[in-house]
Amino acid sequence: MKFVLSVPESLDPAAAAPLLCAGITTYAPLRKWGAGPGRTVAVVGLGGLGHMAVKIAHALGAEVTVLSQSLKKQEDGLRLGADHYFATSDPTTFERLAGTFDLVVNTVSAPIDVDAHLGLLAVDGTLVNVGAPAEPLSLNVFSLIGGRRSYAGSMIGGIATTQEMLDFCAEHGIGAEVEVIPADRINEAYERVLASDVRYRFVIDASTFA
């Protein structure tokens, strides 16, 4: 049987394409690990993946917290649907939020302190990695067994889940926050990515290719 994705007409074309990468990458683990009413979800990082995780977790009905290195994107995070926003650079954050979350979705591709983030989980909570750091990550097994916690990974989803995600985003008016650029600004865009100066996805206007 052949499956073909159908993009709902209500989705903005410029935002629909990023949904097929950032959308499914975050939707799949949120659905798999039960984000919804009565559940507490933390999103680590408010970038290309993180901003979609916040939107989707909020639409699913979860209580959403953003954990970012600083508070510079706090206004954006709350606008996108977060209920709370904390800076991980503040050492009191991990003490204050210990044992709080049912699910922590790590969207960053930089190394994190896995043990510290596992400590944020409630009993039977799960830390899911969707970001892909180049360096190996390590953990102390006692961070897992102390609260029956789990550490998992997720990449994308199958055709059926991707279609479910597209329909869900169309129903709830969710799209990626994008900046459309011409092809001759690709190098500039890359420099801005390196500087974390993206709100929150670049989309290249295909009509500008020579």
Ordered by start, the domain boundaries in the chain are: 13-175, 177-210
- CATH class of the domain whose range is 13-175: alpha beta
Looking at residue 210, its pLDDT comes to 66
Q: In terms of DSSP bridges, do strands 63-68 and 84-87 run parallel, antiparallel, or are they unpaired?
A: parallel
Residue 187, classed as helix, strand or coil, is helix
Looking at residue 192, its pLDDT comes to 82
pLDDT one-digit tens code per residue, 24-65: 999 999 999 999 999 999 999 999 899 999 999 999 999 999
Phi, psi values for residue 85, rounded to 5°: -150, 125
Cα 158 from chain centroid (whole Å): 18
Looking at residue 171, its pLDDT comes to 93
pLDDT one-digit tens code per residue, 117-137: 999 999 999 999 999 888 888
**Would you state the structure tokens that stand for residue 188, as one six-digit string?**
């500039």
Instruction: List the single range of 27-36, 65-74, 195-204 with lowest mean pLDDT.
Output: 195-204
Sign for the CA dihedral angle at 98, 103, 109, 115 comes to positive
Average pLDDT, rounded, for the chain: 90
pTM of the predicted protein model: 0.89
